[in-house]
Amino acid sequence: MKRLLLTTVFVSLLAAGCGSPGGSGNSPTPGSAASRPPSSASSAQAAPPTTSAVPPRTGCEPVIAGMSPRERVAQLVVVGVEPSDPAAAAALVREEQVGGIFIGGNATDLLTDNALARVQEAAKVPVSVAVDDEGGRVQRLDQLEGDLPSAREMARTMTPEQVRALAEERGRAMLARGVTVDYAPDADLTDEDAGAAIGDRSFSADPAVAREYALAFAAGLTDAGVRPVLKHFPGHGRASGDSHTGLVRTPPLADLREHDLLPFEDIAQYGDISVMVGHLDVPGLTEGQPASLSPAAYQLLRNDYAFEGVTVTDDLGAMKAISDRYSVPEAVLRALQAGADQALWSSGGDVAPVLDRLEQAVAGGELPGERVEDALERVLRSKNACG
What's the confidence (pLDDT) of residue 325?
Answer: 94
Q: Is residue 80 part of a domain?
A: yes
Closest CA to 19 of 190, 217, 200, 286: 200
Q: How far is CA 222 from the centre of its chain?
A: 14
Instruction: Give the CATH number, domain containing residue 364.
Output: 3.20.20.300
* Separation of alpha carbons 180 and 341, rounded Å: 17
Residue-range definition of the domain harbouring residue 323 = 3-33+60-382
Q: How far is CA 286 from the centre of its chain?
A: 21
What's the confidence (pLDDT) of residue 58?
Answer: 61
What's the confidence (pLDDT) of residue 123?
Answer: 97
* Separation of alpha carbons 188 and 214, rounded Å: 10
Phi, psi of 51 (to 5 degrees): -95, -5
Q: Is residue 48 part of a domain?
A: no
pTM, rounded to two decimals: 0.86
What's the confidence (pLDDT) of residue 56?
Answer: 55
Judge whether 314 counts as a catalytic residue.
Answer: yes
Q: Is residue 74 part of a domain?
A: yes
* Separation of alpha carbons 221 and 342, rounded Å: 20
Q: Is residue 41 part of a domain?
A: no
Question: Which residue among 244, 272, 315, 341 is the active-site one?
Answer: 244
Residue count of the chain: 387
pLDDT in tens, 217-266: 999 999 999 999 999 999 999 999 888 888 899 999 999 999 999 999 99
Q: Is residue 370 part of a domain?
A: yes
Cβ proximity of 132 and 31 under 8 Å: yes
Question: Which residue among 260, 314, 315, 341 is the active-site one?
Answer: 314
When divided into structural domains, the chain yields a total of: 1
Q: Is residue 45 part of a domain?
A: no
Judge whether 281 counts as a catalytic residue.
Answer: no
Decide if pLDDT at 36 tops 80.
Answer: no
Q: Which residue has the higher pLDDT, 1 or 233?
A: 233
For residue 160, what pLDDT band results from cuts at 50, 70 and 90?
very high
What's the confidence (pLDDT) of residue 32?
Answer: 44
What does each C-alpha distance from 175 to 129, 141, 142 come to in angstroms?
Answer: 10, 11, 15
Q: Is residue 71 part of a domain?
A: yes
Q: Is residue 55 part of a domain?
A: no
Task: State the average pLDDT over residues 103-122.
Answer: 96
Q: How many CB atoms lie within 10 A of CB 87?
A: 12
Task: State the average pLDDT over residues 361-373.
Answer: 97
Task: State the average pLDDT over residues 150-179.
Answer: 98
